[in-house]
Chain A
Amino acid sequence: MFKKLFVSIATCLSLSACVSLNSLSLTQIPEARNNTITATSDSWNLLGIAFSNDFIDEAIMDLKSQCIGGKVEGILTKHQTTVYFLVFKREVIATGYCQKG
């Protein structure tokens, strides 16, 4: 019994930090690509049970704050999930270019 338990735990731990991509999108990319900005927000959920998706707004606010008065273009948005032992990390990563002036 302990052997089975050990094998189960070892399997779960070895499959930890496995990441899967849920969705992605890419907007139009400008010609001027000097100023790269990146924003990441995440949500940790026990057993994958989530009660809100408000963490997405954090990524948007972060992206906006890095480009005040400018235009954010060429945004690559990734929504991915990383699985740890019993805990899921949902993540939104947005990378883009800030155009000012």
Chain B
Amino acid sequence: MRKYFAIAAVGLLTACARLDHVQIGEIDQSQGSLTPFTVQVSEFGFEAAAAAEIGRIATKGPSSQQFQKIRNILALMNMGPRTGNPVYDDEYANKLMEYIYAECPTGKLTGLTSVREAKGFGPVSGEIVRISGYCIQ
């Protein structure tokens, strides 16, 4: 019972929104009126080793040991630096430039802000890349 309560408490207390990186560009308000826009792409992030660890804590005996072995295998097979939960497709942010220009056909942009953030719950999250800015009319 205490174990489930602990898992629930940890789950509830995990951050729901996470900010990893933000950069703000120059803002030019002297060229004309500004129309704001935002382009956002996201991908499902899943930390399999963390999920296995939750399984290990939530179970007992041989099942717990199985989850421990799975966790160790997953940790070895997916080694490397990470920002947030790993995703299974690293091309989800490849078309950002095209989307930005679709929002602003004049091509005149200013105040571009690049944000790398995530919204999630424990080992599951949406890994987001967001570019917002202003289109000069």
Closest to A25 in B: B23
- Contact, CB under 8 Å: B23 / A20: no
How many positions in chain B have a CB within 8 Å of any CB in the partner chain? 3
A53: chain B residues at CB < 8 Å are none
A23: chain B residues at CB < 8 Å are 21
Range, interface on chain A: under 10
B81: chain A residues at CB < 8 Å are 20
B131 to chain A: closest CB distance in Å?
A: 13
A20: chain B residues at CB < 8 Å are 81
B114 to chain A: closest CB distance in Å?
A: 9
Interface residues of A in 27-77 (CB under 8 A from B): none
Alpha-carbon distance between A25 and B23 when the two chains are bound, in angstroms: 9
**Residues in B lying within 8 Å of A, measured CB to CB:** 21, 23, 81
3 A-B pairs with the lowest CB-CB distances in the bound complex, closest first = A25-B23, A23-B21, A20-B81
